[in-house]
């Protein structure tokens, strides 16, 4: 079983994010879900991003780093959208990472000094998500898959950004179910052994 840090999207640490984490816990994993927004949640991605901008994206990343500082280094970092930034940074820079799951976003690995050898990564996104395709995330994900031996990109039908989040108008229950299955399979078979 894996130790996993789940980092929330711009809507905050919603019941949907906590529910996803609870499913991982029910499968036998140890899950930590830091609250990067100090209890605040938002109804729209735009409002959540505006909040992140107001406190500063470096603050969001720093809060994630502080939240994991006391955890063992052997973590899998799973981020949803905005949470991909700290998840990817931690996977790339915190020694001992066992893997990364990047949902709805991907940052060029060069932003954090290149992808570490032996750390598997999975990227999940909707095929026509305007955030993913229009903000450079799709290109970053394809480059990551081309560069990293144990990287995979899974594209889902549709254009919903937060398709795995029940509180989002983008929610797609069928795609969300496939995502959960794939994440659980990755945790069971794809993560670096300790």
Q: What is the pLDDT of residues 24-70, one digit of tens each?
A: 999 999 999 999 999 999 999 999 999 999 999 999 999 999 999 99
- pTM over 0.85? The answer is yes
Other beta carbons within 10 angstroms of residue 38's beta carbon come to 10
Domains of the chain: total: 1
Beta strands in the chain (DSSP E): 3-7, 30-32, 76-80, 99-103, 121-126, 151-156
Backbone angles phi and psi of 32, in degrees to 5 = -115, 135
Q: Give residue 111's domain range.
A: 3-190
Q: What is the pLDDT of residues 120-136, one digit of tens each?
A: 999 999 999 999 999 89
What is d(CA 83, CA 43) in angstroms, rounded to the nearest whole number? 16
- For residue 21, the domain's CATH number is 3.40.50.1820
């Amino acid at each position: 079983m894996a130790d996993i840090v789940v980092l929330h999207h711009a809507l905050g640490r919603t019941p949907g994010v906590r529910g996803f984490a609870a499913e991982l816990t029910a499968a036998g994993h140890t899950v930590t879900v830091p609250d990067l927004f100090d209890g605040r949640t938002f109804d729209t991605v735009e409002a959540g991003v505006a909040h992140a901008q107001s406190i500063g994206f470096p603050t969001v990343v720093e809060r994630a780093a502080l939240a994991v500082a006391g955890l063992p280094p052997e973590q899998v970092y799973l981020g949803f959208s905005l949470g991909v930034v700290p998840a990817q940074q931690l996977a790339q820079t915190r020694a001992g990472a066992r893997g990364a799951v990047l949902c709805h976003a991907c940052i060029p690995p060069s932003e954090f000094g290149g992808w570490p050898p032996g750390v598997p990564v999975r990227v999940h996104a909707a095929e026509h998500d305007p955030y993913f395709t229009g903000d450079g995330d799709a290109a970053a994900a394809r480059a990551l898959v081309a560069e990293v031996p144990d990287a995979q990109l899974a594209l889902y039908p549709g254009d919903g950004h937060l398709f795995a989040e029940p509180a989002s108008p983008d929610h797609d229950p069928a795609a969300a179910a496939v995502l959960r299955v794939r994440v659980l399979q990755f945790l069971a078979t794809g993560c670096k052994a300790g």
